[in-house]
């Protein structure tokens, strides 16, 4: 589904990604771990299409399309969803309004009939129940006054609404307590299928207890330095990131 | 030929035309006004109050003294194109600055709403007229107020007697017929809202024809004890429309005033909104929304004057400038020494959408009392990039995302309007302008 070849990127003259190569197939969950500054969030941002990041080399193929040529809205329309680490608050735009506009723009792009008010409302209710979101929150301005946990749950709620082919979860577990984590992880797992894929960017192993990855990759200084199965996450938990740094230095 | 010379020409020609005119009434106040005008002259570019608003240049370029001295006749017979669809209201029509009784339709009973030509009121209601007419607006400080007080010909008097909650709103349509020639009009209104009464007023401006129009409006509005005024103004007249308005409101104790000024179009539009909160326990909200495009210059000057203690005022003006438009905001707040426990707030927020649009904003607070709560803030910026990206990341096109964010920005003003029909109407216009549904 997603093929990244030797991706290099910088932000404000600082080179962050130094050649990332990664292949993600349908049905797979890949965890990207690494110490602070390793380039995890940069990778997520480049995939989502943030303008601040300049791609200086490499290519990204998504379902046969050159991802780097697509605008952020087209990447979303092609089926990529990013759950942000710090979801922004947008006063004056309600979650309901926002979701309806988004879903219908995506459907229009894909040549699907637009959802009428009733169908849309039913879809919303179903996904709200999944993410244990109170209906009152959705008529309020997007993310405004939401707690950290509520914002993250709202991200996964949106993911459930958009039904993406590839979801990128950028440190979705950061700032969550156990209960919020449970709800978020449950939502993510419910959405998992053999037809879609996920890239879970995380600093800690905790989320991976709930959202069990098929592959774990360790990012260090903008490169994937180690890949393995889910056991790798436990190893990191036990040994810390210094082990990787030493490991890499030796090579 | 230098600028001063041409300016004096127009000014002295206008004064000459005044001296030759035979006015039916109010000669004393007119004479006083014209001598003020003579002293003041049209504002030059050193005039602080018109520093960013070159109205004088526009007047010299487009109008002659003959325009100032004449009321252009009009053959407009229908007003349907200009009404708010489906709005059940008392419909007052001005054409080229003159009250047009034939086109107007009053539906409220006359013991609840009195509408009469000023010329008639001067005779029939001399008590109330002498108390307020030309007493609120100050001709000695502004040339346009002076000119209006000198030249007005056919204004109206609106009176809501005390203890009346007027069910049907008062909708004033100012029409200009500029199909044959340029038009200069001096519109004059005196409105009195009696003790404990409540009224909704809506004003709209439209022009038929493409010749330049200069409309000068002076409205003196008295809001008596415990009365309420909900005032809405929509300035959406495209084309060659130049306008200076003076809306002068006087509030007595316990009264409530809400004003909404929505500016969407025009060549050069300057509003002077001035309120004297001359009573205790008053609550007032002044909202403004200016969405400017092309070459429009939109200028909102406001004055809020707290002369008595324990009152509250809140001012929120928001602007979006696109194209080569220019926005101007100046908000003065005065809190007099005896106006203790005043709460006065002001906020002006602006978004510039293009490199060629500008905003000049200046808050001016002068506070002489020492036990007050006052604040002001103004911001100017572009759209929140982070918010834009977030919307795009969900599949919303950049164009649509911008529209959503701009509509949300403007929505804060629209959301405060209580009259549903007016709110919906304004909402439709704003959505259209911001291309919300494209």
Which residues of chain B does A72 touch, with a Cβ-Cβ cutoff of 8 Å? 389, 392-393
User: Average of pLDDT values for B119-138?
Assistant: 94
User: Average of pLDDT values for B409-413?
Assistant: 93
Tokens of B50: 């018109």
Looking at every residue in chain B, the average pLDDT score rounds to 93
Q: Which residue in A49, A50, A52, A90 has the most chain B C-beta atoms within 10 A of its own C-beta, making it the best mutation to test that interface? A: A90
User: Average of pLDDT values for A135-142?
Assistant: 84
Q: Which residue in A72, A107, A114 has the most chain B C-beta atoms within 10 A of its own C-beta, making it the best mutation to test that interface? A: A72
CB contact under 8 A, A88 and B386: yes
Classify residue B156 as exposed, middle or buried by CB count within 10 Å of its CB (0-12, 13-18, 19+). buried
Q: What is the pLDDT of residue B2?
A: 46
Task: Please write the tens of the pLDDT for every residue from B5-34.
Answer: 455 588 999 999 999 988 988 899 999 999
Task: Output b/e per residue, B5-37; b: 16+ Cβ within 10 A.
Answer: eebeebbeebbebbeeeeeeebeebbebbbebb
Helix axes A148-162, A117-130, angle to 10 degrees: 130
Q: Higher confidence at residue B417 or residue B24? A: B417
Range name among A176-190, B84-98, B160-174, B405-419 with the lowest pLDDT average = A176-190
- Rounded to a whole number, what is the distance in Å from the CA of B396 to chain A's nearest CA? 5
Q: What is the pLDDT of residue B437?
A: 60
ipTM of the complex: 0.94
Q: How confident is the model at residue B191 (pLDDT cuts 50, 70, 90)?
A: very high
Tokens of B166: 């007027």
Which residues of chain A does B404 touch, with a Cβ-Cβ cutoff of 8 Å? 93, 97-98, 101
Q: Tell me which chain A residue has its CA closest to the CA of residue B413.
A: A92
**CB-hemisphere CA count at 13 Å for B109?**
4
Comparing CA positions, the residue from B208, B222, B24, B231 lying closest to residue B117 is B24
- Rounded to a whole number, what is the distance in Å from the CA of A40 to chain B's nearest CA? 18
Inform me whether the pLDDT recorded for B44 exceeds 60. yes
Residues 6+ positions from B55 with CB-CB distance below 8 Å? B42, B43, B242, B244, B268, B270
A98 at B interface, C-beta within 8 A:
yes
Q: What is the pLDDT of residue A173?
A: 86
Q: How confident is the model at residue B73 (pLDDT cuts 50, 70, 90)?
A: confident
A198 at B interface, C-beta within 8 A:
no
Nearest to B393 among A48, A93, A141 (CB): A48
A65 at B interface, C-beta within 8 A:
no
Task: Please write the tens of the pLDDT for every residue from B307-355.
Answer: 999 999 999 999 999 999 999 999 999 999 999 999 999 999 999 999 9
Q: How confident is the model at residue B91 (pLDDT cuts 50, 70, 90)?
A: very high
Which residues of chain B does A82 touch, with a Cβ-Cβ cutoff of 8 Å? 393
Percent of chain A with pLDDT strictly greater than 70: 99
User: Average of pLDDT values for B102-117?
Assistant: 95
Which residues of chain B does A71 touch, with a Cβ-Cβ cutoff of 8 Å? 392, 398
Inform me whether the pLDDT recorded for B363 exceeds 80. yes
CB contact under 8 A, A73 and B398: yes
User: Average of pLDDT values for A15-20?
Assistant: 93
Inform me whether the pLDDT recorded for A20 exceeds 50. yes
- Rounded to a whole number, what is the distance in Å from the CA of B352 to chain A's nearest CA? 18
Inform me whether the pLDDT recorded for B1 exceeds 50. no
Q: Which residue has the tokens 């003003």?
A: B413
CB contact under 8 A, A93 and B408: yes
A228 at B interface, C-beta within 8 A:
no
Residues 220-259, chain B: which have Cβ within 8 Å of A? none
Asked if A71 and A200 touch (Cβ cutoff 8 Å), the reply is no
Q: Higher confidence at residue A129 or residue B247? A: B247
B356 at A interface, C-beta within 8 A:
no
Q: What is the pLDDT of residue B438?
A: 54
Q: Which residue has the tokens 């709110």?
A: B423
Q: What is the pLDDT of residue B328?
A: 97
B63-67, long-range: CB within 8 Å, 24+ apart, which pairs? B63/B10, B63/B182, B63/B184, B63/B212, B63/B214, B64/B10, B64/B13, B64/B182, B65/B10, B65/B13, B65/B14, B65/B16, B65/B17, B66/B17, B67/B181, B67/B182, B67/B183, B67/B184, B67/B214
- Rounded to a whole number, what is the distance in Å from the CA of B409 to chain A's nearest CA? 7
Asked if B203 and B172 touch (Cβ cutoff 8 Å), the reply is yes
Inform me whether the pLDDT recorded for B254 exceeds 90. yes
Q: Report the Cα A26 to chain-centroid distance in Å.
A: 15
- Rounded to a whole number, what is the distance in Å from the CA of B20 to chain A's nearest CA? 57
- Rounded to a whole number, what is the distance in Å from the CA of A90 to chain B's nearest CA? 6
For B332-435, where are the alpha helices, taking DSSP H only?
A: 385-392, 398-414, 420-433
Q: How many Cβ atoms from other residues are within 10 Å of residue A133's Cβ?
A: 20
User: Average of pLDDT values for B252-263?
Assistant: 98
Task: Please write the tens of the pLDDT for every residue from A157-170.
Answer: 999 999 999 999 99
B399 at A interface, C-beta within 8 A:
no
Task: Please write the tens of the pLDDT for every residue from A41-67.
Answer: 999 999 999 989 999 999 999 999 999
Please report the number of interchain residue pairs, chain A to chain B, with beta-carbon separation below 8 angstroms.
Answer: 75
Comparing CA positions, the residue from A183, A186, A177 lying closest to residue A147 is A177
Nearest to A88 among B387, B408, B409 (CB): B387
User: Average of pLDDT values for B261-267?
Assistant: 96
């Amino acid at each position: 589904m997603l093929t990244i070849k030797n991706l290099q990127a910088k932000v404000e003259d600082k080179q962050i990604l130094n050649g990332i190569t990664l292949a993600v197939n349908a049905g797979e969950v890949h965890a990207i771990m690494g110490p602070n500054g390793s380039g995890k969030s940069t990778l997520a941002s480049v995939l989502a299409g943030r303008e601040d990041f300049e791609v200086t080399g490499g290519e990204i193929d998504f379902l046969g399309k050159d991802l780097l040529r697509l605008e952020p809205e087209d990447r979303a329309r092609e089926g990529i969803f990013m759950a942000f680490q710090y979801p922004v608050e947008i006063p004056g735009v309600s979650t309901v309004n926002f979701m309806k506009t988004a879903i219908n723009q995506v459907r229009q792009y894909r040549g699907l009939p637009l959802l009428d008010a009733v169908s849309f409302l039913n879809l919303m209710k179903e996904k709200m129940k999944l993410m244990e979101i109170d209906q009152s929150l959705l008529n309020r301005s997007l993310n405004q006054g939401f707690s950290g946990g509520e914002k993250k749950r709202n991200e996964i709620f949106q993911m459930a609404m958009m039904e993406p082919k590839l979801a990128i979860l950028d440190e979705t577990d950061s700032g969550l307590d156990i209960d919020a984590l449970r709800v978020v992880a449950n939502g993510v797992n419910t959405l998992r299928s053999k037809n879609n894929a996920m890239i879970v960017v995380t600093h800690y192993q905790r989320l991976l207890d709930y959202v069990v990855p098929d592959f774990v990759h360790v990012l260090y200084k903008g490169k994937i330095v180690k890949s393995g199965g889910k056991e790798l996450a436990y190893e990191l938990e036990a040994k810390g990131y210094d082990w990787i740094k030493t490991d890499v230095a030796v090579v | 030929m230098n600028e001063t010379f041409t300016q004096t020409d127009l000014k002295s020609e206008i004064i000459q035309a005044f001296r030759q005119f035979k006015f039916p009434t109010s000669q004393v106040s007119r004479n006083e006004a014209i001598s003020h005008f003579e002293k003041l002259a049209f504002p030059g570019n050193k005039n602080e109050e018109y520093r960013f608003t070159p109205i004088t240049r526009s007047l010299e370029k487009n109008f002659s003294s003959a325009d100032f001295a004449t009321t252009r006749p009009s053959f407009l017979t229908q007003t349907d194109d200009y009404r708010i669809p489906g709005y059940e209201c008392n419909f007052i029509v001005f054409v080229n600055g003159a009250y047009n009784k034939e086109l107007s339709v009053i539906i409220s009973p006359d013991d609840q709403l009195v509408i009469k030509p000023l010329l008639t009121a001067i005779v029939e209601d001399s008590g109330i007229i002498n108390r307020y007419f030309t007493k609120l607006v100050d001709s000695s400080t502004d040339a346009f107020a002076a000119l209006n007080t000198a030249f007005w010909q056919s204004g109206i008097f609106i009176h809501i007697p005390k203890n009346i909650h007027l069910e049907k709103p008062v909708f004033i349509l100012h029409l200009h017929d500029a199909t044959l020639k340029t038009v200069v009009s001096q519109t004059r209104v005196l409105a009195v809202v009696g003790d404990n009464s409540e009224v909704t007023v809506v004003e709209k401006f439209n022009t038929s024809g493409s010749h330049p129009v200069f409309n000068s409006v002076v409205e003196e509005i008295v809001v008596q004890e415990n009365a309420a005024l909900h005032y809405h103004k929509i300035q959406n007249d495209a084309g060659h429309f130049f306008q200076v308005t003076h809306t002068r409101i006087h509030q007595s104790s316990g009264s409530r005033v809400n004003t909404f000024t929505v500016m969407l179009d025009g060549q050069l539009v300057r509003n002077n909104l001035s309120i004297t909160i001359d009573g205790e326990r008053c609550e007032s909200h002044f909202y403004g929304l200016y969405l400017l495009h092309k070459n429009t210059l939109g200028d909102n000057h406001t004055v809020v004057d707290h002369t008595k203690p324990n009152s509250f005022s809140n001012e929120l003006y928001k602007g979006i400038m696109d194209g080569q438009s220019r926005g101007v905001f100046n908000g003065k707040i005065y809190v007099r020494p005896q106006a203790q426990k005043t709460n006065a707030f002001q906020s002006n927020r602006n978004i510039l959408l293009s490199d060629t649009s500008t905003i000049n904003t200046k808050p001016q607070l002068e506070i002489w009392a020492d036990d007050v709560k006052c604040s002001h803030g103004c911001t100017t910026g572009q759209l929140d990039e982070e918010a834009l990206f977030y919307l795009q990341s969900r599949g919303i096109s950049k164009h649509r995302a911008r529209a959503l964010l701009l509509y949300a920005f403007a929505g804060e003003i629209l959301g405060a309007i209580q009259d549903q029909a007016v709110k919906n109407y304004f909402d439709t216009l704003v959505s259209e302008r911001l291309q919300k549904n494209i």
